[in-house]
Amino acid sequence: MNIALTAHDAKKELMVQFCIAYCGILSRHNLSATGTTGKLVSDATGLNIQRFLSGTQGGDQQIAARIACNEVDLLLFFRDSLQSSSLESNDKNLLRLCDMHNIPVATNIATAEVLIHGLERGDLDWREIVKL
């Protein structure tokens, strides 16, 4: 599975802790991330992560393009809902594309836990069929 990771600044440490906790599961999949998130997670876990630009420099848009091309199977996007951001339209675009292409997405750690356990059980294997 191709898993994309991104997190707002206030949620980057939470993403790192999540990836440390689930490093064993994540290591069996192809990971990509926006630049800063990818660096932090890779440094903390040793996971091999394809890094795009930082979110503010277009990394979110690079992930969005991969979603639009059906090259992402799962998006973990830890959002800071208290942050009013000039990037909010990029956030909405990512979520809209996930809806359009039936990409499971977690915007918080609770949903990420459900999805990662489902991934481990094989509940997301249907994504492989969709790509055929």
Output the pTM of the full model: 0.94
**Confidence band (pLDDT; 50, 70, 90) for 132?**
low
pLDDT in tens, 56-99: 899 999 999 999 999 999 999 999 988 766 557 788 999 999 99
Q: Give pLDDT, residue 16.
A: 98
Q: How far is CA 80 from CA 10, 15, 38, 83, 88, in A?
A: 6, 12, 17, 6, 11
CA-based torsion, 125, 130, 69, 85: positive or negative: negative
pLDDT of residue 55: 83
- Which amino acid, 66? R
Q: Kindly compute the dihedral angle of the four CA atoms of residues 18, 24, 26, 29, in this order, to the nearest 10 degrees.
A: 180
- Percent over 70 (pLDDT), the chain: 95
Q: Which domain holds residue 16?
A: 2-130
pLDDT for 84 equals 65
- 40 conformational bin, left if phi > 0, alpha if psi -120 to 50, beta if neither: alpha
Q: How many domains does the chain have?
A: 1
Calculate mean pLDDT across residues 119-132. 86
Residues marked active site are found at 60
How far apart are alpha carbons 97 and 118 in whole angstroms? 21
Is residue 104 within 8 A of residue 1, CB to CB? The reply is: no
**What CATH number should be reported for the domain holding residue 84?**
3.40.50.1380
Strands 105-106 and 74-78: parallel
